[in-house]
Structures are given as C-alpha cells and as structure tokens.
Amino acid sequence: MGKRHKCTAHDSTIHIFLLNNYYQDIEMNNRKIEMHRGNGVFDSCKWKDLKVGDIVKVQKDEFFPADLILLSSNYEEAICYVETTNLDGETNLKLKQALDATFTLHEDSSFQDFKAVIRCEDPNANLYTFVGSLELGEHSYPLTPQHLLLRDSKLRNTDYIYGVVIFTGHDTKVIQNSTAPPSKRSKIERRMDKIVYFLFFIVVSMSIIGSIFFGIDTREDMENGRMTRWYLRPDATTTSYDPKRATIASMLQFLTALMLYSYLIPISLYVSIEIVKVLQSIFINQDLHMYHQETDTPARARTSNLNEELGHVDTILSDKTGTLTCNSMEFIKCSVAGTSYGCGVTEVEQALAWKKGSPLIQEVTAEQGLAVEATEEKTKGFNFVDERIVNGNWVKKPRADVIQKFLQLLAICHTALPEVDDETGIISYEAESPDEAAFVIAARELGFEFFERTQTSISLHELDPVSGQKLKRSYKLLNILEFSSSRKRMSVIVRNEAGKLLLLCKGADSVMFERLANNGRQFEEETKEHISEYADAGLRTLVLAYRELGEEEYNKFNQEFLKAKNSVSADREEMVEEVAGKIEKDFVLLGATAVEDKLQNGVPACIDKLAQAGIKIWVLTGDKMETAINIGFACSLLRQGMKQIIINSETPESKALEKVEDKTAAAMASKASVIRQITEGRARLSVSNESSEALALIIDGKSLTYALQDDVKDMFLELAVGCASVICCRSSPKQKALVTRLVKTKTGSTILAIGDGANDVGMLQEADIGVGISGVEGMQAVMSSDISIAQFRFLERLILVHGHWCYRRITSMICYFFYKNIAFGFTLFFFEMYASFSGQALYNDWFLSLYNVFFTSLPVIALGVFDQDVSTRYCLKFPLLYQEGVQNVLFSWKRIFGWAFNGVLTATIIFFFCIFAMESQAFRKGGEIAGLEVLAATMYTCVVWVVNCQMALSISYFTYVQHLFIWGGIILWYIFLLAYGAMDSSISTTAYKVFIEACAPAPSYWLLCVLVLISALLPYFIYSAIQMRFFPLYHQMIQWMRLDGQLDDPEYCHIVRQRSLRHTTVGYTARFEAKSRSQRSEH
C-alpha cells in the first residue's frame, strides 16, 4: 500500500525526508476502516488489507483509504461533500453523488445480498477524468468522475458514505501522481567540478611536459665522459638520474611532479564552501524580515546545498491556492441599479497607487481601517465598507426595490449548506467554492440571512423594507442549473410565498449581457463601466439578473430538463446545457458583484519586484480556468488588454470528440486539436514579438496531457517560454512535476517551485529549488522542500537579497580560491623549470601544507560569509541587479579564465622578480648570494602578501572580521616563520632561523617584498579601474551612484534603470506603464 523510495542522495536532508516518509507510510497503512465482511456486517480492518472489490464505510472527517466508487450516503439523494486539499490544493468542498441505482443502500444490512460488476479504465494519474460502468442485474450504468472518491481526500459535512474499492496502493491516482525525491546540486558546484577537472588536466600536462624534458636532459647528461648537470652526479646516482635509464627516470619524475603540483588542485575549497554555506543558511534562518509573527514561523534553509542557486533563478513555478492566496474570498464591492457600492481597497489598488504616488488610496485605506476598527470583529469573507447600504440603510435608497432583489438573489442562488453552532447560534456556511460562501455571507451581513436548506426549499430571514423587521420567508426550490466552465453561469428556479416563479441567475459578464431582455438593460452601461473598474482592481466579478416565469413556460422546460437529466447517453451534459440555455434568457439586470480572491499580504508587490528582476512567473494550479485567470488579474500576471492564448478542451470540437466510441481515435483527434491550438499560438507569438506585445498562455489539464507528450512538448515549451505569463489550470500533481521537469531540462535555466500543499510535493522535488510555504494545508510541502517560508512575499527578500548575496559570495570565493592556488602552484612549476625539472621542491614541506590551511583560507571564508556588493536596500530598489546571477555574469567561463590568467601572471611576476633580484646579487654582509632556503622564504612571503592583498582589493564590504583574517593571515605567517625557525634544525630543516638570521636583517628582503607586491597587484588594479570606469557592471553602477550621493535622485535613478532594465511585461509596474501608454495614445 505505501510508498517505498530508494535513496542515492548525498544530502542528509533527503535521508531524513525518506525516513519520515517511511514512518508516515507505516502509520497510514495501519489506519482502520470499516469493511463489509459479508451478510451485511461491517468490521474494522487496516488500510493495507483492502482489496479491489471490497465495500467500505467511511465516517465523517475520515480520509478515503483507496480510490472508491460512491454507492450511497446518509443523504436521501446519496450526495456527499469531499475536501480535496491534498490532491489539488483547493479547500472548497466538492459535491459527489452516487448512481440512482445504488442510492437506496442507506444501511449496513442493505449490502447483505448486494452484487455488482464494475468495469473501468486502467490505473492512471489523471485526477479529473474517469471512465467506467457499473453492471447491476441486467442494466449497465455509466460511471463518471462525479462518482469517484480519491484516496487522501476527506469526507466532510456527511455522516457516512458507502463505497467500493477500485484502486489500491500504487494504483491509486494520488500515488500515481507522486515522484521520488531527487538529489540536488547547484549549477555552481557542477561547474566548479569541471574547473577542478581542468586543473587536474593542467597538473597532468605540466607533469608530462616536465618529465619529458627531464628525460631528455637525463639521457644527455653524460657525453664523452663529461657531466652536463654535474650537481646531480649522474656518474654515481640511483635510478632517478641515471642517463642509461632515462625512461624510468622520466616516469619517476612524472610521479614526483604529480605530487608536487597537486597544490594547484584546491581540495580545501570544498570544505571551505561547506562551512560558508552553513553560515549563510544560519543568516537566512535568523533574518527577522522573513519571520512571520502571526504564526511564529521563521524562514528555514532545510539544506545548505542550494544557497547560491537562489541567486540565478530564471523561472518561478507557483501554486495558487494557499501560496498566492489566503484560501479565502472577500465580498468587497458591488454595483446595484447602476450605482457602485463599497470603499474597500484591494492589494492591487494599493500597489498601483503606491506606484503612482497617489495619496487618494492612502486616505481611503485609512478611512477603511477606522471603519473596520469600529466594528467588534471583522467577518471572514466580508470586507464591505459603505454606510449607504449597510445596517439596513439600503431601504432609504431610491432604488431600494432593485437592491432588495439583488440581495435576495445572493441569498438564494447557490448550493451552500448552513451549519448552526449549537452553543453560540452563529451560522456558518459550507460551499462548493469560497466565492459562493462570500456571497451568502454578504447577503447575511446586509440583512438577508440564509439559515435553512432542505431538498425542496431555502429559508431566509429577510429585512422587510416597510417594517424594518426581520421576517422569515421560504422559497420552494424547483431546479438548480449548475455552473460549468462552458456555461459560465449558475441559475436556480424558485417559487416565492406569493406563488411567483423566479429564475435567478449569476454568471460571467461575457455570457450574461447577451442574455438580457431589451427592457432589462436599464443599468447596462453603468454596470459594464463598474465591472471594468473592478477588474482593474484585480477583483472577480459576476453579473446578477433575474426574470419571472410563466407556469406554462416552466412546465414545458421542466419536462425537457428532467428528460435530459435522466438520459444515460454520452451527450447527457450537452443536452442539459442546451435545455437550460433555452430558458436562461430575457433577464432583467440587477447589478454585479466584486469579490477579492484574497491574496496574501504583499503578493502583487513581490511579483512586481520579481518581474522587474527579469524572473518569469508561471502559475500551476488545480483550480478551474476562470478562477486561475481571475487570480492572474488580481496579482497582475494578467492585465486588461494583454492578449491571451487559451488552449483548452472545452471547445465544441473537443466535446464532440469525447462522444466518439473509439477512444484511441478520439485521443488522436484531441491531440491534433491541441497541436493545432499550439501552432496558432506560436503564429500569434511571432507577430507579437515584432510589435513587442505581451502575451499570456493559459492551458487546462486535459490539453496539458497532450502538450507534455514527447512529440509535442518542444512546441509547447517554445510557446510558453515566449509568453510573458503562463497559467496551467486543472493541473494534477504529476503534471506539475512534469512541467517543472520539462522547463528545467529543456531550457537549462534554474527553476524555483513554490507551494504549500501535498499536491505540490512532486513539483518542489523536481525543481532545482523547492520552497515550501507553511500554511493551512499541512506540512507536506515544507517537509519536501529545500527552503521553507511562511508567506509568498518573503520570496522577494529570499531571492533578491539572500540569493544575490549568496551567489556573488560563492562565485567570488571560488574564483579567488582558484586564483590563489594557481598563483602558488605556478611558482612551484616555474622553479621546476629553473631547476631543470629535477624534482627539487622550492618550499619547505610545512610551507606547502599550511598555505591553504592558515595563511590564505580564512579571508576566503570571510568573503563567502560577509561580503556585500550593495546593501539590502539597493538590492530591492534596483531589482535588475539580480540579472547578474541569471546571466551568470560573475561565474562565466570568461571570468573564471580571467582569474586563472591573473593567477598565472601573479606567479610569473613573483617568481621572476625574486629570481632576478636574488640570483646573482649579494644578500649577506659578507657578499654571499641567497641560498635556496632564503629564496623560498622570500618568494613564499611575497605569495602570502600578494594573495591576501588581492583579497583586500576584491572585497566590496569590509568588516572587522575581514580585516582580522586578511592582515592576521599575513602576521600569522611571520609568527609561524619565527616559531618554526626557532625549532631544532632536524625539525625545521630548511627554515631553521631563516627569518631571524637571514631575511629580517636584509633590507633587500623587505624592499623586494614591497616591489613584488605593487607589481603583482598593478595589472589587476589597472584592469579593474578601466572596467569600472568605462564598462561597469550593474552593481558597479549602483556603487558609483552611492559614492556620488545620487541614489536618492529619482531622475538619475531612472536613467540608470533605463540603461539596464529590460522590458517588464508583468506586475503592476507593467500594468501602470501599459495604462499610461494607452492614455498617451488616446491623447
């Protein structure tokens, strides 16, 4: 039943995750469920013991143990409500209903003689489709997703259900959607490995070159009895210098050189980087700006492997529900009888106002805040502030009759269920969607309280405009015409207490205005204008309308409706929609609603900053297309006027294909339809590229299934990458992971995925960086993530500040590490050349061993932990600075080889200055020249000075720690030379009193060190000065501005941004600029 994973990762975090998974599997497999044992008797058994065909009884608030077909429930109509948070992230309840043939099975004893056969599709990962049939007696009944209850869903608002198991264990859809956790390494580390391989190649090449020259020289050492290199005594030598055995001598020299030049390979770099990354993770964990006080949740870097990967994220793939939004809807504005009501301000309006510097929104926000504070407690789902119609004031308005009908429609036209708290008497609502719950709450708060629902009636407490009293009124519920993606509306037909038949409808403006009667368009223009304003504010809008029905017209409709509803043909849904469409016409317009799919605080501002940084943002959600599009507008990923490329399976063509009996042919035709839509989108993309017009791609889950197939995915990706925004709707968890894998592998860019639910786990694991949000959907996403945060808005600081800093610090650290090792190693190589590749080491053994341990390593660690090119403020003020990481400016091969060349140049200057200065010049008072031990100490001193001072030149932000480590490393070298040289000569060997007796008293030693230091650093200094003056990088431009005091000059900042900022296509900045361009073109 449970999942099993094979671990190959090196990261301990993954081991802990797998261990947690293992224990979770054991706990889940041993959960208990009631199973039919026979003769109508149900007894408890473990989940792991369930088999296909078992009948189970699931109680309220329990999880489904396997994929089930719903047989019946405690409701007469055999309906039940299901929460699918773990599957698609949605917290709203889904309504499921059993077949009419089994809905009478309400008791355990009903199953005593129950026998049926189910034939269905093979196990697959698609959450939103299901094909099967139930054979009961001589009849066969079609099974649809409406009858399917998926494992890991929870039964809500239903006392119990009976279901039959169709898939268990690994065959269930939720586990079909799971993916194994991969091992993750950053791209910087992978490139660093290549550099190490390159250095190893250099070491081998140097050793081969040296051994060849040494072999040739050794062979020619004895000519006619004369010794060329007499000091090696080839006439009385071992194999190492024997001219008669030159080949063997050459091979031994090769091995000697390999060991000698091994100091070029920076093994200690890996240790230093691990230390730095751990310290960087601590800084992330302790950042108070990413601490969420309300939930007492700090940011957590759950692995330190990927710190620098945060610095070059190209694309963010985000879940919607619970990640961008708060899992709640708020009724905030409405338009009734041509008048707009509601003073609430949305996140988008605040962001736009801040961008324009408008004081108006600030004043309104302040007034709104005072109004909210005046109330005892803010009502969830209701953020409506307008004294004109609250507290019953609407009865005084000129069109009170229209407002009354408007509020009645809100209270009646829905499928919500009321729940009364026995202790407090407060009514709460369970609805299929959060916006539906917001409408019912708004109606209650404005005087029309829905308090009771039966199968045939809806009861309200209504505010009577004449008496001002609350009256109980009941409406007979005759029909519900349900919402669907193709209809884009929902209607109910009721009979009021006066006997009138009313058709109440709410739907999208795109389908509602065309259905208005000629005499029902009184407020059409005003309402359209208000809807446009609401949409600009990022609100979700619906149009409300009604009509009165005649008895004859209704009876005729009802007969046709029941006939269509009871049909068992494949086109049943189309028949129902067609009948409903005939009566949903000639409406009288009442107004429009505007609800805010409540974004988390700071989401629009965060998305805008990330967009300005050049980061692409995709939304992968399990929500319906309409919901996803609305939230796209709310967070400014979409905007008015942005052209949309919509690829969906809800076209008439696609629906016709579903009726074809040959499913293979239907699938092929559906795939061809998707390919055609993608091709058309690519054509539109080519046109938009020529006109610099931003496009948005929106695709549903069924179409995404075909778009991700091997022969289509490249076309799809080309289209998606070219669009400014991408929204994938109705995406299953596996599709989210597959999209993530496609973008990651095909583009080669760094992908960050962020989500908060169990349905996001595959996406988080597949991405280069997985960020989990610790929200209301549990901790599954956090446990599977690399980094966890409490709110989406913290992503701004995590990426633009910590990501930029970590990337710059790690890359600078690696480049410098290679530089200092090359500078040190090549002095050894040059000396080998000077010594005829004899294998004689230039430096004392302890000099070689301690170079990377004490004298040069600590400044590198300080660089990796503390250095800042610009401060936090300027990282956020100039978000395009982040593009240095995305374009890998600081760790390109050009920059790497530039540092390597600097290392070779440094080694060349140090070696030849020292050799020419000391080779034939008197060093001691007696006129003696310097020996090998003095040359080695002098050259080593120069190396320590130069590489440490090179570090000082490279650092942008000095701290006391860096001063301590840089100058302390140099001082430590002198202390070591004194202490080591003072030891017995048998221990200190060539370093015996070399400093105190030879180097320190000689003025030429000190003068040479100063000259070498200046000469070795001068090329880098000149190059840096020219590059910063004439070809500055973006961070250097900001540094110049800071030094010149121009960072607060708006005009100068704008010039700098314009010089570097590429075209921003999403976010409220882009929305504001597009609106400004539109207004300029109109004038």
Token pair 């199968």: residue: 455
Chain centroid to CA 781: how far? 12
**For residue 315, what is the enclosing H or E element?**
strand 313-318
What is the spatial distance between Cα 489 and Cα 1037, in angstroms, rounded to a whole number? Answer: 54
Size of the chain in residues: 1083
Residue 242 to residues 220, 222, 237, 567, Cα–Cα distance (Å) = 10, 9, 6, 102
Token pair 């009734």: residue: 336
Residue type for position 724: A
What is the spatial distance between Cα 1023 and Cα 745, in angstroms, rounded to a whole number? Answer: 37
Q: Single out the residue of 314, 7, 186 nearest to residue 768, CA to CA.
A: 186
First-residue to last-residue Cα distance in the chain: 67
Token pair 């991408």: residue: 726
What is the spatial distance between Cα 516 and Cα 829, in angstroms, rounded to a whole number? Answer: 89
Within 10 angstroms of residue 748's Cβ, the number of other Cβ atoms is 10
Q: Single out the residue of 152, 64, 67 nearest to residue 761, CA to CA.
A: 152
Phi, psi of 697 (to 5 degrees): -105, 130
Within 10 angstroms of residue 499's Cβ, the number of other Cβ atoms is 8
Q: Single out the residue of 597, 589, 659, 653 nearest to residue 623, CA to CA.
A: 597
Residue 647 to residues 487, 618, 638, 679, 792, Cα–Cα distance (Å) = 17, 15, 16, 11, 28
Cβ-count burial of 294 within 10 angstroms (0-12 exposed, 13-18 middle, 19+ buried)? Answer: exposed
Residue 21 to residues 35, 766, 785, Cα–Cα distance (Å) = 26, 17, 13
Paired strand residues for 38? 41
- Classified as helix, coil or strand, 902 is helix
Token pair 């929106």: residue: 698
CB 322 within 8 A of CB 89: yes
What is the spatial distance between Cα 351 and Cα 398, in angstroms, rounded to a whole number? Answer: 35
Q: Single out the residue of 2, 48, 45, 4 nearest to residue 25, CA to CA.
A: 2
**For residue 362, what is the enclosing H or E element?**
helix 359-374
What is the spatial distance between Cα 193 and Cα 30, in angstroms, rounded to a whole number? Answer: 46
Strand order in the sheet with 339-341: 339-341, 325-336, 588-599, 540-549, 501-507, 489-495, 470-481, 457-463, 448-453
What is the spatial distance between Cα 533 and Cα 349, in angstroms, rounded to a whole number? Answer: 10
What is the spatial distance between Cα 476 and Cα 606, in angstroms, rounded to a whole number? Answer: 48
SS (H, E, C) 532-545: HHHHHCCCEEEEEE
Neighbouring residues of 762: CB distance < 8 A, sequence distance ≥ 6: 177, 178, 179, 733, 734, 736, 737, 740
Tokens standing for 292?
A: 């969420």
C-alpha torsion sign, points 672, 676, 682, 685: negative
Neighbouring residues of 177: CB distance < 8 A, sequence distance ≥ 6: 87, 125, 127, 732, 733, 734, 737, 759, 762
Residues labelled as active-site residues: 319
Neighbouring residues of 688: CB distance < 8 A, sequence distance ≥ 6: 643, 694, 695
Tokens standing for 791?
A: 């709110």
Neighbouring residues of 595: CB distance < 8 A, sequence distance ≥ 6: 329, 330, 331, 332, 435, 438, 439, 539, 540
